Amino acid sequence: MREKLKDSVFKIWIGLSTSLVFIVVVYIFLYIFINGAGSINGEFLFSAPKGMPIGSEGGIFPAIVGSLLLMVIACAFASILAISTAIYLVFYCTSEKVKRLIHLIIQCMSGVPSIILGLFGYTLLVLHLGFGRSLISGGITLGVMIFPYIQVRVEKTLIEVDKAVITSSYALGVSKVYTLFKLIFPMCKFDIVSAITLAGGFAIGAAAPVILTAAVIFAPVPESIFSPVMALPFHLYILTGEGISLEKAYGTALVLMLILLVINIISVILNFTRKEHE
C-alpha cells in the first residue's frame, strides 16, 4: 500500500516536472510572439528610434545592424583564435602536459561570467587602450566570451576525422598544411561553420558584456569599428528598465528571438547538409 502511494507520488512528480519544462518554453515563445507580432512592421525594422524619450517611437534599425556587426566581429575574432588553438592541440602539440594545461585554461575561461569579461573589456579595451565604447571593444569582449565554445567544438570535429584518411594523405608525400587546407578543412567545414554560427547566436543575445564595452542608448548605424553602437539586448533592457515603451520592447524582444531562430535554422541546415555529404 505504502509502495503504491510512493509510486504514484513519484510518477506525478516526474510527470509534472517534464510538463513544466515544456510549458515554460512554449509560454515564453508564445508570450513574445503574440505580444510582439503587432509591433513589427517596415518602419519598426528599418528606421531609427525616435521620440522623447528616445525609443518611444520609431524603429530599431541601428540596433539590428549594431547587434549583427558585433556578432560578426566577435565570431571573426573568436574563430581565428579558436580554430588555431584547436589545430595546434590536434596536429602540432606533442606534449600531453601542455595539452592538459591548455584544456584546463579553456575550461576555466568558459566558467568566467560574462559580466567579468565585460569588466575586463571595459578596463583594458575601453579605457587603457582607448578604444572607447565601440564596436571593436564590444566585438572583442564577446569574442573572448564565445572563444571556448567554438574551440571545444572545433577540436572535437578535428579529432573525429578518420586517422587513416589523414595517413593516406601523408603517404602521397603531401605536406601537413596542404592536408589541413585541402583535405581536413573541406571535410570539417560544415561542423566548423555550424559551431561558429551557434556561438554567434550566443554572442548576439548577450547583454552583460556589451553594456560596458559597446552599447549606448542611441547611436546611428556605426561608421567605423571605433563608433559606439546600439545593440538589441541592451535596447530591450533600456526600453523596459526605463519604462520607455512596452510595445517597442515586445517588438525588440521578438526581433531578437527571430534572429536567433534564423541562426539556429542555419546551423540545423548545415548539420543536415553535412550528413547528406557522408
Query: Which of residues 15, 37, 38, 271 is near other proteins by CB under 8 A?
Result: 15
Beta bridge partners of 229: 215
User: Grid coordinates 572545433 are at which residue?
Assistant: 154
* Residue 84 engages other proteins in binding (rule: CB under 8 A): yes
The residue among 2 and 42 lying less far from other proteins, judged by its C-beta, is: 2
The residue among 156 and 182 lying less far from other proteins, judged by its C-beta, is: 182
* Residue 30 engages other proteins in binding (rule: CB under 8 A): no
Number of CB atoms found within 10 A of residue 232's CB: 25
* Residue 186 engages other proteins in binding (rule: CB under 8 A): yes
Of 81, 99, 87, nearest in space to 185 by CA:
87
Using a 10 angstrom Cβ sphere, with 0-12 exposed, 13-18 middle and 19 or more buried, the burial of residue 125 is buried
Residues between 147 and 166 that touch other proteins (CB under 8 A): 147, 151, 162, 164-165
DSSP 173-227: T--HHHHIIIIIHHHHHHHHHHHHHHHHHHHHH--HHHHHHTB-S---S-SSTTS
* Residue 97 engages other proteins in binding (rule: CB under 8 A): no
* Residue 72 engages other proteins in binding (rule: CB under 8 A): no
Q: Give the shortest CB-255-to-other proteins separation in angstroms.
A: 11
* Residue 227 engages other proteins in binding (rule: CB under 8 A): no
Cα–Cα dist 133/173, whole Å: 51
Query: Which of residues 144, 229, 230, 244 is near other proteins by CB under 8 A?
Result: 144
Q: Name the helix (H) or strand (E) containing 50.
A: strand 49-50
Q: Give the shortest CB-266-to-other proteins separation in angstroms.
A: 13
Span interacting with other proteins, options 40-48, 55-63, 152-160, 208-216, rule CB under 8 A: 208-216
* Residue 11 engages other proteins in binding (rule: CB under 8 A): yes
Q: Give the shortest CB-186-to-other proteins separation in angstroms.
A: 7
* Residue 118 engages other proteins in binding (rule: CB under 8 A): yes
Query: Which of residues 56, 237, 258, 266 is near other proteins by CB under 8 A?
Result: 237
Cα–Cα dist 60/48, whole Å: 6
Residues between 32 and 71 that touch other proteins (CB under 8 A): 32
* Residue 271 engages other proteins in binding (rule: CB under 8 A): no
Reply yes or no: is the peptide bond before residue 53 cis, omega within 30 of 0.
yes
The residue among 42 and 276 lying less far from other proteins, judged by its C-beta, is: 276
Cα–Cα dist 78/95, whole Å: 24
* Residue 175 engages other proteins in binding (rule: CB under 8 A): yes
- Let me know: does 56 contact 244? Beta carbons within 8 Å: yes
Strands, DSSP E only, in 90-140?
A: none
Number of CB atoms found within 10 A of residue 181's CB: 11
Q: How many residues bind other proteins (CB under 8 A)?
A: 92
Query: Which of residues 48, 102, 152, 221 is near other proteins by CB under 8 A?
Result: 102
